[in-house]
Amino acid sequence: MPADRGPAPAKHADPRPESARLLRAYAREPGRSVLARVETPGATWEDGVAADEPRPAASLLKVPLALAVERAFAAGGLDAQATVAAEELDVGGMGAGPLRVLRPNLLLTAADVLGLCLALSDRACATWLLEAVGVAAVREVVADLGCGATTVAEDRDAPGAPLVGLTTARDALRLIAASQDAARYPLTARALRHTVHNSRIPLGADDLDVQVAHKTGTLFGVANDAAVIDCDGGRLLLAFLTEKQHDTLVSGYDMGICTRGLLQAWRLAVRRARSLA
């Protein structure tokens, strides 16, 4: 059910009915979930469809992994300046990979590995980080953030390796909101502002004056994206989850359409966006 505080922004048509329509239009296909929250000086509005339905988390789980790593840095359990050679991170596999562009003997810091894990959604970097902090630390982050419907398991042979599990749109929104605490998680916040994948939610703002920082996660039939979009007039938080999609490109395009409609309905002039999936 929609939850709101205060009146809609003054001097304009009430954006809430149109916003609710946009969310339901996106969720017209089976296997889709969405949760949106708008925060402005005059109002807070939230609505969703199947927002508490567990779906495959895919690369969203790299976010609590990164937060666990930053906690380890802060506590002194892991040195952010500890180095590892690029060739030691390459865990094998066929085809091209981002790490193979680097010199094999190039030394990366643990902070560098965290950035690559998020910005490139790199599996090898995530594996190295998980070995450094352990899956229990990731589960602790998830619990601390109140993501009670999110499950985290280690499976290096799974398509979403090294972490697999389920989450909900509501939990995804909690994860992305936490990731933007730059005082506590500066490396994560920065990495999510410099991801190299520009699709899904950012499609809704691609012709606006906006710096899009986001991370996508994709499995067979799964396309997820969650974002915090900071605007001149407020903030838009979004989480889209899917499964059993016949075409993940279509799903991603629909995310962009919904995003653009919400920004227009609330008359938010976008300044920058941060997102993950």
CATH, residue 56: 3.40.710.10
Compute the mean pLDDT over every residue in the chain, rounded to the nearest whole number.
87
Q: What phi and psi, each to the nearest 5 degrees, are found at residue 274? A: -130, 130
Q: Give the pLDDT score at 91.
A: 57
H helices within the chain, ranges in order? 16-26, 62-75, 86-89, 110-119, 123-133, 135-144, 169-179, 186-191, 248-265
pTM value is: 0.89
Q: Which domain holds residue 103?
A: 3-276
**Whether the Cβ atoms of residue 55 and residue 168 lie closer than 8 Å to each other:** yes
58 and 217 Cβ atoms separated by less than 8 Å = yes
- Please state the domain count of the chain: 1
CB 13 within 8 A of CB 25: no
Predicted confidence (pLDDT) per residue in 212-262, tens digit: 444 455 689 999 999 988 887 888 999 999 999 999 999 999 999 999 999
Question: Tokens standing for 226?
Answer: 């969650």
122 close to 59: Cβ distance less than 8 angstroms: no
